[in-house]
Structure 1
Amino acid sequence: MRNFSRAGTHVSAILAIDTASPAFAIALALEGSPEEKPRVIESVSDFTHTSLLAAVEEYLRGVHLDAVIVVRGPGSYSGLRAGIATAQGLALAQGSLLVGISTLEAVAVACSDDVVPPLTFTAIHPAGRGDFAAQDFLGRVPQGPMRISTPEELSGGSLAGEEAGDLGAQEVSPRERVVAALASYRRGSLEPASELTPIYIREPNVTTPRRPFGPAGAQGHLPAR
């Protein structure tokens, strides 16, 4: 395994990927290097798998990863699948540790680091149809399972997360979440996994293709042979 070193100091490279939102974010931390803060890219346009791969390739030129962290959801169905597939591919190709964190856990870490005593609040993330994925936290510690909540059900509570600003609460961006994912790994709060699956608060919509029309326009009838 190749590792970087400067003046005899081991440098551990750690990559975090967050594709739970329309805009993705990636962060690269070089542990043990003079560069203390992670380098972060946050896209400003709608997510595509191609743009994610291009950003990862640019970041990882000449770098061997010790660990890959990926946000597992809730979030965008296609984004989560692409992010997890990218993380698994990198971990397999480079022999790196593969680690997952939920979107709401990343929100909690982003809001709770250096806050003493820990605060009770609800981490949220858009779940479609005007609803939110929600989970209560005491600092970084979950206080119950994830749930789907309406804006009305969340009104008046202490909230943080994506689109929380629209509810008069604390907005948390993909950039902040991906840096929080790195911080959680550094703290030893995340366990490696052999494989990861997306966390869906709702099951993806599956549509059945319509059968072809026959020559007379009757659905389901194919031309006779």
Structure 2
Amino acid sequence: MILLALETATATCGAAVLREGRVVAQAHLHRPRVHSERLTPLVEDVLRHADASSAELDAVAVSEGPGSYTGLRIGVSTAKGWALSADAALVGVPTLEAYAARVRPMAAPGDVVCALLDARRDEVYAGAYRVTTDDVTEHAPTKALPVEALPDWMGGVPGRLWLVGDGAPKSRETLAALDAPQTLVPSDELPPSAVRVARRGRQRLAAEDPDDVATFEPLYVKDVHATPAPSPFA
């Protein structure tokens, strides 16, 4: 199987190709606001380096969110286009799950990885995942919430707490209230990766049906905790 994967949910713009489960090409730009101009050329580059044509694609995996509204829209629309043109399966991969899976090789079973993306103001997109011997599983559901609400949302942490993502630095002090040993993984050392999206996408396709190209939408995770703007008449 030849699988193309896209990561555009954050400032990272990336593409990768798996052939029979092996990474054969990848390219990433870690710069904001380049997705609309650079994503398609990146895809063309990785396909060329993988010695694969678009017609040979069996599947397209895309980081589905939460994250940047614009980045998600660009990534999902591009993924749909390549899937349709190649008559390939489409699979969405939760952005925070893929990010947490990058940390798993460093962690021990029972640890919790909290992936945090900055949602501006005092809020973050958060997802927490329990580390097992060979995977990560949901510990707390993905939400958009104020930093101050993170400890109650997280609950108990049986092992070490790993923090990753550009929302981690502003959340670290608040999460210290959980009284668990804590490790912050700098996002510039471990940025989001299309390779991890590819591997999670391959896993999901092996376990469940692909997504419907016509109806698939990004997982925006609307910020239900947003503070209303003050009334000009108050």
Residue by residue over 1:82-134, the C-alpha shift from the partner in whole angstroms, topping out at 9 and shown as x without a partner, is 10000001001001110001111112221225855242232211212242111
Structure 2: gaps of 5 or more residues: 152-156, 173-182, 227-234
Give the helix-richer structure, 1 or 2: 2
Structure 1 position 29 matched with structure 2 position 18: yes
The aligned counterpart of 1:194 is 212
- Cα 1:189–1:160 change in 2 (3 A) is farther
Q: Higher mean Cα deviation, 16-25 or 158-167?
A: 158-167
Number of residue pairs matched by the alignment:
191
Q: Displaced runs of 4+ in structure 1, greater than 6 A?
A: none
> Residues of 1 paired with 2:137 and 2:98: CA distance?
11
Q: Normalized against structure 1, the TM-score is what? A: 0.72
Greater relative CO, 1 or 2 (CA 8 Å, sep 6+) = 2
Q: Equivalent residues in 2 for 1:21-170 (5 A)?
A: 21-31=10-20, 36-46=22-32, 47-61=34-48, 62-63=52-53, 64-113=56-105, 115-139=107-131, 140-154=136-150, 158-163=161-166, 164=168, 167=172, 169-170=184-185
> Residues of 2 paired with 1:138 and 1:194: CA distance?
29
> Residues of 2 paired with 1:189 and 1:134: CA distance?
25
> Residues of 1 paired with 2:68 and 2:207: CA distance?
25
- Cα 1:66–1:23 change in 2 (3 A) is same
Structure 1: gaps of 5 or more residues: 1-11, 206-225
> Residues of 1 paired with 2:162 and 2:106: CA distance?
18
- Cα 1:130–1:114 change in 2 (3 A) is closer
Identity of counterpart residues, as a percentage? 28
The aligned counterpart of 1:171 is 186
How far is the alpha carbon of 1:136 from its aligned partner? 2.1
- Cα 1:72–1:39 change in 2 (3 A) is same
Aligned-residue CA RMSD (Å): 3.0
